[in-house]
Structure formats: C-alpha cells, structure tokens
Amino acid sequence: MSKNIEFNRDDYELIQEATDIIKKHYRKHWHSVGCALLTSDGSIYTSFNIDATVGRIAVCAEPIAIAQALKDGKNRFDTIVAVRHPDPEKGHDKYEIIPPCGMCREISTDYDMDIGVLIETEGKTRKMKMRDLLPYKYTR
C-alpha cells in the first residue's frame, strides 16, 4: 500500500463539490452518490449516480464524471471523490466520503493509472493513488 498523499486546498473543494451535487440532485432510490473529479489542468467535473429498476444497468457517479471530462478532451486526472447522501434508514446520518466500488476503481485506472482518490478509512479522510486500491490490475 502506498503512502498517503498530502491534502491540499483543491481536495477540500472537491469534497464540497461532490457534496453539493448530491445535495442538489438527491432522489431517494435513484440518486444517492455525488462525485467530483479534478483534472490535471484544474477543471472540476461533477456527477451523480443513476440508479435503475434493473440494478445491473445502474451507473455509478465516477464513470459519468470521467466521461464528461473525456468529452471535453481532458485525459489526465488528478483526484476523484464520491460522497453519499445521508439515509437514516440505512444508518447513514451524514454526508460521507465513500470508497469507489471495484468497477469504478478499474475504469478510473484504465483512463489514468496515476489518479488520486479520497477515501475514509480508520476514521480519517485520506488521499492515495487509486491503483493502490486495485492491486494486480487486469491490463490488456
């Protein structure tokens, strides 16, 4: 596992952007996770997940943000973060940074092996390389 990467002002802004997008677009059972992606040139892309009646066609927030950046010709990424909206019925009573799922780890590193990710672990927010959350990555 790699060392934690030092936080900077952009990281706190990114967390706030992810929180703001899900606050604005939360819809119970449909949209519960917000994401913010910082590209290497300083651009920020935000998105939220889209759920579906048939669960396997749901799309996480992270690949949507990545697709938006790619659409604008951005292909170098700095940091990504996902924030879950509170859901007291499930025991989540505040906005929380959540780790990316396995598929989001895979797609993030497919597009930039050096992308950083903000996660909560052991009661602390940490910044690390996404590739360290996905050891022995499949490559073509």
- What CATH architecture does domain 9-133 belong to? 3-Layer(aba) Sandwich (3.40)
pLDDT of residue 3: 67
39-81 confidence digits (pLDDT tens): 999 999 999 999 999 878 999 999 999 999 999 999 999 999 9
> Domain locations in the chain?
9-133
Report the sign of the C-alpha dihedral through residues 121, 124, 129, 130, in that order. Answer: positive
Active site residue 17: no
- The pTM score is 0.93
Catalytic-role residue among 6, 62, 120, 122: 62
Is there a contact between 31 and 21 (Cβ–Cβ < 8 Å)? no
Nearest to 35, CA basis, from 14, 50, 51: 14
